[in-house]
A and B are shown apart, each in its own frame.
Chain A
Amino acid sequence: GAVVSQHPSRVICKSGTSVKIECRSLDFQATTMFWYRQFPKKSLMLMATSNEGSKATYEQGVEKDKFLINHASLTLSTLTVTSAHPEDSSFYICSAPWRDRRDSPLHFGNGTRLTVT
């Protein structure tokens, strides 16, 4: 079945540094990928839609200069948290629809636990 690989699974960084999270579709091509942030109370917040070969679409309230998204190929999207601060500590999850069809379910990476000290 469709597999989405996300790395790293955990990262601890110092305040002010940048962190890059990679999301790869291993056995399918993903023209679209979604990046979510999950808060401790469990709700998922869609941050942005990553589009291969074009600019990402950010949700309202998400700073695009802080959360840089690049979708350089059909199998790789990256999220870079720039100048990270403790409030950016969270669980970040990427996902992609297996097929470019509206009835296709999402396949998720295993998430990245970011801790900013």
Chain B
Amino acid sequence: AQSVAQPEDQVNVAEGNPLTVKCTYSVSGNPYLFWYVQYPNRGLQFLLKYITGDNLVKGSYGFEAEFNKSQTSFHLKKPSALVSDSALYFCAVRDPTSGTYKYIFGTGTRLKVLA
């Protein structure tokens, strides 16, 4: 069965430091992978996706993510964190071979950037 794991419930990082939010997945075949961010009382916003090609993908707000097939991971990164990056981050996967458009979301990681 498809699944996504975000092993960290919360990540704290000092402003200006690099940040990493972890995501691992379990999908048969080649997955489509996504990161979303959610600010309080709002819907989710799309950050970036990996479909094929370069393992390092760049997205909105200076975020990037690295696809690692051997480790089945898709960690979200940013070289220098901002206080405004504090939010809830979700990793999601779609199995492109399935007959459904359903996305599987991780449980979310709360990022707190400290000034």
Contact = CB atoms under 8 A, between A and B. Distances in A.
Interface of A: 4, 6, 9, 32, 34, 42-44, 46, 49, 91, 93, 95, 97, 102-103, 105-111, 113
Interface of B: 32, 34, 36, 41-46, 49, 51, 88, 90, 92, 94, 96, 100-103, 105, 107-108, 110
Given A42-B108, A43-B108, A102-B94, A95 B32 contact: no
Nearest to B49: A105
A102 B101 contact: yes
B102 A103 contact: no
A6 B43 contact: yes
Nearest to B98: A102
A95 B92 CA distance: 14
B101 A97 contact: yes
A111 B96 CA distance: 27
Given A44-B105, A97-B101, A108 B44 contact: yes
Nearest to B39: A110
